[in-house]
Amino acid sequence: MDYEAVIGLEVHLQLATESKLFCGCPTKFGAPPNSQTCPVCLGLPGVLPVLNEQTVDWGVRVACALNATIGQIMKFDRKQYFYPDLPKSYQISQYDQPLAQHGHLDIVVDGQPKRIGIRRIHLEEDAGKLLHEASATESFVDFNRTGVPLLEIVTEPDLRSADAAYQYLTELKAILEYLDVSTCNMEEGSLRCDTNISLRPPKATTLGSRVEVKNLNSFRAVKLALEYEATRQAAALDGGEPLPQETRLWNAKAQRTEPLRSKEEASDYRYFPEPDLVPFTLEAALVERLRQALPELPAQRRSRLQSAYQLSAYDAQVLTQSRVLADLFEGALRCGASPKPAANWIMGELLAYLNAKGLEPSAVKLRPEWLAHLVELIAQGTLSGPMAKAVFLQMVERGLDPVQIVAEGRLAQIVDPGALERIAEEVVQANLKSVADYRSGKVNAFTYLMGQAMKRSQGKANPQQMAELLKRTLHNDGGPTP
Amino acid sequence: MGVVTPEIVQRVARLARLQLEGQALAQMAAQLDEILEYMQQLQAVPTDQVEPTSHVVPLANVLRKDERGVSLPPETVLAMAPAAHPPFVKVPKVIDA
Amino acid sequence: MAGGELASKTIHELRALIDAGTISPQELLDDLLTRLAQLNPSLGAYIDIAPERLRRQLREEFSADRRGLLWGIPITIKDNICIAGEETTCASRILRGFRPPYDATVIERLRRAGAFLIPRANMDEFAFGSSTENSAWLITRNPWAPDRVPGGSSGGCASAVAGDLAIAALGSDTGGSIRQPASFCGVVGLKPTYGRVSRYGLVAFASSLDQIGPIAKDVTDCAMVLSAIAGHDARDSTSAPVEVPDYVGQLGGSVKGLRLGVPELPREGLNDEVERAIAQAVTVFEGLGLEVEPVQLPNIGKSVAAYYIIATAEASSNLARYDGVQYGFRAAVHRPPSTVHSELMEMYLRTRTEGFGAEAKRRILLGSYVLSHGYYDAYYLKGMKVRTLIKRDFDEAFRRCDVLLMPTSPTPAFRLREKVDDPLQMYLSDIYTISANLAGIPAVSLPCAFSGEGLPIGMQLLAAPFREDVLLRTAYAYEQATKWHLRAPQVRGER
């Protein structure tokens, strides 16, 4: 039977504030273990939390960008459970009066627009990190991450396919990037995602057994895990097998989900209002001020690029996927580049480079004026084809203006007729057989000779000039013109 | 036995990571039962329109600036730990991480 | 010199002597330590004393800068207030050997006022108790009678102050833990308004009820210590940004015309002598010119039930961090068969079962139960609503009165072991102190009589939030008119 998948996503986003949610420790990733802690985030006896105002501002901005209703009053609650990475044995989170609720995010699935409801957005503190690989009998704890501010964004179960989930995550990440509140990096753990999926017969209104999947390290993993689960659950339902409500882990190596090894203890989090923190009233005036100050978001930018520069919807989508790329594009335009070539370089060579190296756009220090200069150099004829690509590569890897690269002299295109003539002569002398072939009518021989000429010039010969001069040389030597 | 039985107490103990058995469990259950029965007198107090007090001090919006403070040196953190494998704190293996 | 000449004086007396150059802080400490060595073995007020280290600390660290109200004065600190580098165990095995790497805010403020700190006054484990019998380390005796409890949970502080093993002390009060021991030991104990004194560095029992406060020989000393520690603290989100009045300067102010409310109270267990003592105190107040009137606190009878729901719920949560992972005691475990549970689970269970005493376990279980799924509304939520009613009762009372008068405890100090096997009876003995914590109002206990057996009886004054000034002024007037505070016990073993 064909089942309908009902999917929800829970994203945890680390806010890249200067200090943690309730104390002054740094939030930076990659510091030496246990070097970014203090009595407060370590949960030592006697300590108390004090809320970081920036986390509230940023949380409100995210909520506005996701069209959510900001709570008039918000408060914090304790969520209680025992785990070695949780120093106080409770997490300060938000339960019944969160930062925001009832938002939405619009995506496109199979060419159709779809609105995904966002149930709630709330603030909470992160836990530490547990490391397990090194030993079979022990685990190791690094408390640097305890107390780092998290924004939890929970969807309604409005997603209906793994692809839709992927689209949602991509668009959400773009929005969050535009807001500049997080490094949004799944590898580093500043953006984490859990998903849940249940199947039901088409047209059914009740929900099936919900399976939660954790341990997802990339958007791709989310997609694969959901596809796997959909297949697994469908097979179970078809076969009349029991499908328990459970939590499973994604095994990236084996490309499948697996049940938890330990017997799940029934978790009773015993939520109650955090007595060490007083409530917060989020004034409408403050919220409005933050909403007005929102930067242009991906969807708006997409529309604007399409209408202002006659870009296709697809091109606009690719370019705005990352704010870095969109900024690069518009920056290049401001420096005089035309839209089409600028777009092509970004969508073509740059993205190919990033994908091949597995890099985020922000990893590459590419200035908009450099891209504009590259486009200009090509338009002028100073650079062409393979040479332009070579210059682009140098631009990206060495972080240099292409004008500077060209001026270094090593990559200047050869346009001097004398030099080109000399190359043509040398090629003819060195390839007498091909020359004979060419003169006897084999057109391929010319292609071969051109290749030789370009090679001899280290790709620097201006192809049009080279071709012309080669032909002249071939004819000047006598022999019939084909 | 009015309110809690030893079975309930054992379940709650597990939640709180405490172990109680035999005589100790029976005695604790009896004491808790007596205390909880006493607490039930609150049921008779009319509180329909009454707001709960979770904070007796009328403060709101206590915030701090997003500024760096002083962190502890890692040696201090590890020195407090019952078991350490520098630079980490050490615990028995956690399954299903 | 026989110990105790200087140790028996008050802060204000010693202030004058030190300022005049008549005595030095070193002489004062020596005198106190001599008395401690002599009497602590039998009184058990302190868990541990390191006299040579204390003398050395005073010599090496103490600045000659004479600024500060408490310069050169030793202040005794309850074992649940963090002093950097000092062992702070809350009288619990689970924190044996724990040395906090930071000072509580009140400690910083005492240091700034020039005080010298004497740590490790004994207490009930994690402040759970009314007799100091729940300490993991030793029992403390009442200096007035060695077979009697000093009260709790700040029993070590009160016993020390009463027996002149301390000049003054900082205790903590969640349901009466400063006032009740002060009453049992015949000294002055004040619980400030919730939010008046920073809780940062006080090992939490019940976060919405806890306050740190002074235990001292007289009202003046109490006011001096309070001035040093009161005030807003940015590290405590529940700390009130309210100005600190000149408590000491205002002590001698007139009390004529102040309205004294005397509430009708639940009388179960109320000792006749205590009742008579309060009636006599009313007479004294009338003589001082206060207008006495009866008031109603209709919901006060529900305060023990409401308190123990809220306090144990918060306590169960606050004590969850003692799990053997990153500080304190961790039990040695053998790996159990994997069919039972994991080694990690075994570690948690053994650590907390071995590390906590019976009362701590009782409260953790109660608290976990009232917060657990399905019971939250019936207990915790209900408790918080009744708390609102109790607070309203006091708001109403303070519209008509400036100060309220009631007993501190239904009886004088009971015998050691008398209530250890009956937790509910122990809880019920807090009936008069608990409501001030629930309402967040300031309250002070001071001696007002002695029983036929020679045991101190304390009376309690309560005031509206942040009106410690009126409270202290009223207490001072009574004290000066009656002089109960000048009586001192003859401590067994004293020469």
pLDDT one-digit tens code per residue, C337-357:
777 788 999 999 999 999 999
Given CB atoms, is C385 within the 8 Å cutoff of chain A?
no
For the domain made up of B6-44, give the CATH fold: Histone, subunit A (1.10.20)
pLDDT at C208 over 60: yes
Do C221 and C12 form a contact (C-beta atoms < 8 A)? Answer: yes
Name the burial class of residue B69, with classes exposed (0-12), middle (13-18) and buried (19+) by CB atoms within 10 angstroms of its CB: middle
Given a cut of 70, whether residue A410 has pLDDT beyond it is: no
Mean pLDDT along residues A242-268: 85
List the A129-131 sheet strands across, edge first.
A129-131, A138-142, B88-92, B84-85
In whole angstroms, how far apart are CA A236 and each of A111, A206, C94, C383? 31, 18, 49, 48
C-chain CB neighbours of A84 within 8 Å are 325, 344
Q: What's residue B1's pLDDT?
A: 52
Tell me how far apart the alpha carbons of residues A306 and A321 are, in angstroms, rounded to a whole number.
14
- Amino acid identity, position A300: Q
Helix ranges (H only) for C80-201 are 105-112, 155-162, 179-185
Longest CA–CA separation in chain C, Å? 75
Q: Out of A43, A46, A90, name the one closest to residue C200 (CB).
A: A46
pLDDT for res A478: 54
Residue type, B89: V
From CA C13, how far away is CA B7, in angstroms rounded? Answer: 59
Q: Is A203 on the interface with B (CB under 8 A)?
A: no
For helices A162-179 and A53-65, the axis angle rounded to 10 degrees is 130
Whether A105 and A175 have beta carbons less than 8 Å apart is answered as yes
> CB distance from B85 to chain A under 8 Å?
yes
Would you call B47 an interface residue with chain A, using a CB distance cutoff of 8 Å? Answer: no
Q: Show contacts of B40-43: CB within 8 Å, 24+ apart.
A: B40/B3, B41/C302, B41/C305, B42/C302, B42/C305, B42/C306, B42/C309, B42/C379, B42/C382, B42/C383, B42/C386, B43/C378, B43/C382
Active site residues of C: 78, 153, 177
A31 Cβ under 8 Å from any chain B Cβ: no
Judged by CB atoms closer than 8 Å, whether chains meet at C98 and B80 is answered as yes
Report the alpha-carbon distance of residue B60 to residue B64 in Å, rounded.
Answer: 13
Please give the average per-residue pLDDT across A353-375, as a whole number. Answer: 89
Neighbours of chain C (3+ CB pairs under 8 A): A, B
- Residue A358 is encoded by which pair of tokens? 């597995």
Q: What is the pLDDT of residue C381?
A: 96
Per-domain residue ranges of chain C: 11-251+441-486
Whether residues C381 and B52 touch (CB distance < 8 A) is answered with yes
Number of other CB atoms surrounding residue B26 within 10 Å: 13
Q: What is this structure's pTM?
A: 0.90
CB distance from B78 to chain A under 8 Å? yes
How far is B47 from chain C, CA to nearest CA, in Å? Answer: 6
Reported confidence tier of residue A207, pLDDT bands at 50, 70, 90: confident
Q: Cβ of C240 under 8 Å from any chain B Cβ?
A: yes
* CA nearest neighbour of A53 among A22, A10, A86: A22
Nearest to A278 among C238, C313, C372 (CB): C238
As given in the structure block, the two tokens for residue C125 are: 């484990």
Q: Give A480's pLDDT tier (boundaries 50, 70, 90).
A: low
Measure C346 CA to nearest chain B CA, in Å: 9
Task: Write phi, then psi, for A125 (nearest 5 degrees).
Answer: -95, 145
Question: Cβ(A67)–Cβ(A103) under 8 Å?
Answer: yes
Helix (H, G, I), strand (E, B) or coil at B90: strand
**A453 compared with C40, residue with greater pLDDT:** C40
For position C1, what pLDDT does the model report? 39
Candidates A190, A186, A211; CA nearest to A200 is A211
Is some CB atom of chain B closer than 8 A to the CB atom of A26? yes
Question: Quick one: DSSP state of residue A170?
Answer: H
Which residues of chain A have a CB within 8 Å of the CB of B57? 278
Total number of residues shown for chain C = 495
Q: Tell me which residue in A87, A272, A275 faces C371 most closely, judged by beta carbons.
A: A272
A472-481, C363-372, C439-448: least confident range: A472-481
B92 contacts chain A (CB < 8 A): yes
Reference A62, options A157, A124, A152; nearest CA is A152
Q: C211 burial class (0-12, 13-18, 19+ CB within 10 angstroms)?
A: buried
Given an 8 Å threshold on Cβ–Cβ distance, is B45 in contact with C386?
yes
Identify all chain A residues contacting B17, using CB atoms and an 8 Å cutoff. Answer: 82
The amino acid occupying position C393 is D
Q: How confident is the model at residue A202 (pLDDT cuts 50, 70, 90)?
A: confident
Residue A439, pLDDT > 60, answer: yes
The whole-number pLDDT of residue A406 equals 82
Nearest CB partner across the interface for C100, out of A45, A51, A84: A45
User: Of chain C residues 82-101, which have a CB less than 8 A from chain B?
Assistant: 98-99, 101
Separation between Cα atoms, residue A41 and residue A43, nearest integer Å: 5
**Domains in chain A, start-ordered, CATH in brackets?**
4-289 (no CATH), 296-407 (no CATH), 417-476 (1.10.10.410)
pLDDT band at B8 (very low <50, low <70, confident <90, very high): very high
Instruction: Among A298-302, A398-402, C268-272, C450-454, name the one with the lowest average pLDDT.
Output: A398-402
Q: Amino acid identity, residue B26?
A: A
Where b means 16+ CB within 10 Å and e means fewer, C243-271 reads: ebbebbeebeeebeebebbbbebbeeebe
Q: With cut-offs at 50, 70 and 90, classify the pLDDT of residue B97.
A: low
User: Min CA distance, B17 vs chain C (Å)?
Assistant: 5
Chain B nearest CA to A237, separation (Å): 27
Contacts of A212 in chain B (CB under 8 A): none
Tell if the CB–CB gap between B45 and C299 is shorter than 8 Å: yes
Cβ contact A89–C323 (<8 Å): yes
The pLDDT of residue A364 is 86
**A interface residues, C as partner, C-beta within 8 Å:** 39, 42-51, 78, 80, 82, 84, 87-90, 137, 139, 141, 143, 262, 268, 270-272, 275-278
H/E run at residue C5: none
What percentage of chain C's residues is helix, strand, coil (to nearest 5)?
40, 15, 45
ipTM for the whole complex: 0.96
Task: Identify which of C486, C490, C438, C16 has the alpha carbon closest to the alpha carbon of residue C191.
Answer: C438
Of A46, A48, A84, the CB nearest to C325: A84
- Which residues are registered as beta bridge partners of A12? A152, A192
Query: Higher model confidence: residue C203 or residue A418?
Result: C203
Please tell me the predicted confidence (pLDDT) of residue A263: 60
Q: What percent of chain C has pLDDT over 90?
A: 91
How large a percentage of chain A has pLDDT more than 70? 96
Distance in angstroms (rounded) separating the CA atoms of residues B81 and B97: 21
CB contacts, 8 Å: C234 with chain A: 50
Domain C11-251+441-486: homologous superfamily in CATH: Amidase signature (AS) domain (3.90.1300.10)
Q: pLDDT (tens digit, 9 = 90+) per residue, C267-309?
A: 989 999 999 999 999 999 999 999 999 999 999 999 999 999 9
Question: Which residues touch C349 (CB under 8 Å, ≥6 apart)?
Answer: B17, B18, B19, C341
Is the Cβ pair C321, A43 closer than 8 Å?
yes
The shortest CB-CB distance from C204 to any of A46, A82, A278 is to A46
Highest mean pLDDT (candidates A49-63, A360-374, A422-436): A49-63
**Do residues A68 and A103 make contact, with C-beta atoms less than 8 angstroms apart?**
yes
Least confident of A26-40, A372-386, B29-43, C353-367: A372-386
**Residue predicted with more confidence, A15 or A206:** A15
Identify the pLDDT of residue A266: 64
